[in-house]
Chains A and B, each alone.
Chain A
């Protein structure tokens, strides 16, 4: 018997948690002498008020869907992949190498090739900590975290010594050729008579991200591999009893996770920057942890949570711009959302369960 209907568990609890987070965020804004109502209006206006705002919001959302799914795959095997950031960086390198390798005739050819490049590099980067965990027992939280720093240094080194345009002042690769240019929302929606902002970075990668979310669902709940990943995550001893190889599952789950992180690079490197820049992920690998947590490791939840964080990123940027609210406060707001939706889940859940039970009792009586 369930204490609460499913919709309450899936929708009501996160909603209340977010409202609580916004309430406390409002208090913070009020405390530094700004008007919380104006602030929230600015954020919503900035994130959803124009096609330009929507374009930026969905661009960030795309990043977070990829990393959120990546963290969630690993989590289904009870592996905490803290190395999303590094895997995205390596994915960026893979995408850049593919895009720079030849003069691509058309994006429809460049995109699949770049996807493979990003996924392979991301997966390879995740393989090392996965192998160390599976074979040597080195804790994956520690190794993946350290691999973020190694990735940063490594990609920086490659950029500076091999990919940088000679004579240029900035640490970035050459721009990709026109054939590797991905269709933006502006270009995609023009045939339908919709005039989407030309400057917004949202591009076809968003659809790839949604496809990845669907693929995630199939993988985890419809395939044998997903079944084995979930079994291993739920109980390692039971998995061993059933003849599921822990080494194999650890490595495969982490490589899928790394591949999804690497795929994110088609959005930020190929779709937006169109060249490889230093520190391209801008923290998306870490936001992915919050997104997976909030989305309860389910693709629908992850897409919605990614949208929320996309909104916070874009709306937050507007807030800094128009209201002179410091950038740091945006981080505080993000932190509050993570805290209320993830860490303080039971604070909302317990009283709500009681409420539903009481309601049921009065109905029965």
Chain B
């Protein structure tokens, strides 16, 4: 841990002569109404190190970082930056204390250029030109130093996600940040882009920057951090040196019990094709072709995993199959054709045909957050005769009873069907959706991002349920941006890129590297010729 004052940044006070700490949090507590989001948190981060913060959803990671960045005010506790107590009242104060933040959802203006975004809010005077010139010079320097190359005159909307993230990092560096906080930075990146990001972070670290990496991916923590703090239910359970720990230990610290990281499943015994898709094309409401004439099939008793970076047509594929997006081509379910447009193509008719759908976006599609759990458990199936008292009135008492039973079978906690969906954690919300869809005993289950925003403990459970459904001989179409998940769950893997299927692989015969290439649109395999030009 070498303090690098050669960086040229004028820190207000010299750090104490002993171990230099970039950030020290002492006894930070924060409550939102009755919820204690942070409880007496203590963290020390050494200068020039990469410190990971890992924890399940709702463990309080984001709250803690929001306090550090001045979005929230802590109820108690002190923050020390470079050994000196600071009061971070807003993001401007955080910036002047040398803290830069790269959010999970980028805060960029789409139709501004890279330069304009970098300068925005940090202009030197009333005229823009001098600031832009200065930023251009700095950008050139940074891109040479740290592989942070971006075209300064490109519009944000024309950049890939990975490049947009670089702009966010550049923004922080332009504001002379010494401490960089990254919130779930790899969620939207291809494996290659993620590797590139980690190289950038290593470079920054070597230059004496301090980096805090918030993530739920154990592998990233193991790969790039020097030390790691684990949070659980608003408390800091432990801080350990990364070299002295293992993924299993971290998972146990996060969840509070032993966790199975691998999926246990027997080899698939696929039967007849359940879903057959031929030459499916989807044009969205903006006139953009999202799915470009793809073919695929899923057989009974197998899981077909669709890998790909978000936004390459997987969402639209699920929407067409789910009945709420129009498409052209042919889709057959157990040999019978489905309507792809018109009044016979909606969620109701798809459900009637035995297609269940766990949508990618739990909050906007899968659930109505203001509804109670019991109301959500019939969502989409509310016309089912089982739930009616008579022609007019629904049997709410019976629905509540059924909801409770389903929630119990899916280990939903708290087991309270009257609670609003938004009061459940991400994992338990997903269990509510799964309970609704899987318990219908569908022929085909469409499942998008089954474990996005879901805690490790629940991931294990959800994966088990998916495999169990497969073992009952059901067909499952899995869409996920998490390669780990695709590799461990799927019996076959198809990779989507730019609306095409780039190739199909068997999990046993491929690896992350090859899939990563396919996700980036590069096919070097034997099937390159037939899919490359599709």
Contact = CB atoms under 8 A, between A and B. Distances in A.
B388 to A, nearest CB: 8
Given A242-B380, A243-B323, A234 B359 contact: no
Given A222-B396, A224-B383, A241 B370 contact: no
B368 A222 contact: no
Contacts of A244: 347
Contact of A238 (B368, B382, B383, B392): B368
A223 B390 CA distance: 10
Interface string A222-256: 11100110110011011011111100000000000
Interface residues of B, number: 34
Contact of B347 (A218, A230, A242): A242
B144 interface: no
A246 to B, nearest CB: 10
Contacts of B393: 218, 222-223
A242 B371 CA distance: 14
A1 interface: yes
Nearest to A235: B368
A353 interface: yes
A86 B394 CA distance: 34
Given A3-B34, A228-B382, A237 B365 contact: yes
B383 A234 contact: no
Interface residues of A, number: 24
B174 interface: no
B368 A234 contact: yes
B365 A222 contact: no
Contacts of A243: 323-324, 346-351, 380
B33 A353 contact: yes
Interface in B353-390: 357, 359, 361, 364-371, 375, 379-380, 382-383, 388
A19 interface: no
A231 B368 contact: yes
Interface in A248-290: none
B322 interface: yes
B288 interface: no
B531 to A, nearest CB: 30
Interface centre among B33, B366, B393, B396 (most CB of A within 10 A): B33
Nearest to A360: B34
Contacts of B34: 1-3, 357, 360
A244 B378 CA distance: 13
Interface centre among A223, A234, A235, A353 (most CB of B within 10 A): A235
A298 to B, nearest CB: 14
Contact of B392 (A1, A223, A237, A241): A223
Contact of B346 (A224, A237, A245, A357): A245
B33 A241 contact: no
A227 B377 CA distance: 13
Contacts of A234: 368-371
B347 A240 contact: yes
Given A235-B368, A243-B350, A227 B33 contact: no
Nearest to A231: B368
Contact of B382 (A227, A237, A241): A227
A245 to B, nearest CB: 7
B529 interface: no
A3 B367 CA distance: 23
Given A1-B35, A242-B379, A357-B33, 18 more contacts: A1-B423, A218-B393, A222-B393, A227-B375, A234-B369, A234-B371, A235-B364, A237-B361, A237-B365, A238-B364, A238-B368, A240-B347, A241-B380, A242-B348, A243-B323, A243-B380, A353-B33, A360-B34
Interface of A: 1-3, 218, 222-224, 227-228, 230-231, 234-235, 237-238, 240-245, 353, 357, 360
Return the 7 tightest CB-CB contacts between A and B, nearest first: A243-B347, A243-B348, A242-B380, A241-B365, A243-B346, A1-B34, A240-B324
25 contacts: A3-B34, A222-B393, A223-B392, A223-B394, A224-B394, A228-B382, A230-B368, A230-B371, A231-B368, A235-B364, A235-B369, A238-B364, A238-B367, A240-B324, A241-B347, A241-B357, A241-B359, A241-B366, A242-B380, A243-B324, A243-B348, A243-B349, A357-B33, A357-B34, A360-B34
